[in-house]
Amino acid sequence: NLAGISGREFTIKNRVGYFAVNPGNDSFTKSLSNFESTSQNWLAVTKNKDILLDIGANIGFYSILAINCYGYRQAYAFEPNPETFSRLQKNFSLNKLEAKARALNFGLGKENGEATLAVKKVHTGASSMAGSAGRNFDASIAVKVRTFDSFATETKLDAKRISFIKLDVEGYEYETLLGLRQTLNEMCVGTYMMIEIHPSSPKAKETRDLLNGAGMRQIKSTPTHNFLYRKAV
């Protein structure tokens, strides 16, 4: 019904929380309580639900789910697209999570600087810093990029407090992990990561090798190329 109404935004409520949605893009789909239902309950696997890193946060579904439904104490949500970031902030506000969920308007990569983000207006979840060759994007914008390691140093974020990392950056996973290596080494054994790795990605093998080298071991997967890793050593 909402999809047939143009030019208006709505606030919806479901078991996860409140979401500001626009029928003109995929914000409604990404707000549904059954969104990525196969991997949602992976957030429950860790006993110590302290910090969630939501890398490629989009509109904040996983951050809101982690805090509202699974009892995580804090979430850091990284989203470089300014328009999507605005909706992310709005959703945190609707759920009164400003004290627990921190929205950050930059991407994560292998070095500090800028990158080009290829944007899709309707399918915002397909926006990518991995390059637009062979893919149908609507526009390209310059966005700020930082390494997570430098962010953690600057904010004095203790890697041992990280309980779960959700990493979904549309083909830019390897570059993101390069800027996360120090943190991966410092995380506690038993820390989990959910990561999307498309088999067609030119750096799929390098991504897996980097994770294995950091002591991360794959324990689950879904048909949609989401993988659950656990730090074993």
Q: b/e string for 70-107 if b means 16 or more Cβ within 10 A?
A: bebebbbbbbbbeebbebbbbbbebbebeebbbbbbbb
Instruction: Collapse the DSSP code of 120 into the 3-class scheme (helix H, G, I; strand E, B; otherwise coil) and give the result.
Output: coil
pLDDT by residue (tens digit) across 113-164? 999 999 888 888 888 888 755 467 888 999 999 999 999 999 999 999 999 9
Residue 59 has pLDDT above 80, yes or no: yes
Whether 151 and 109 have beta carbons less than 8 Å apart is answered as no
pLDDT by residue (tens digit) across 42-55? 999 999 999 999 99
Say what the pTM is: 0.94
The residue that leads in pLDDT, 13 or 6, is 13
- Please report the pLDDT score of residue 23 as a whole number: 81
- Please report the pLDDT score of residue 7 as a whole number: 65
Instruction: Collapse the DSSP code of 85 into the 3-class scheme (helix H, G, I; strand E, B; otherwise coil) and give the result.
Output: helix
Residue 165 has pLDDT above 90, yes or no: yes
Average pLDDT, the chain: 93
- Please report the pLDDT score of residue 33 as a whole number: 94
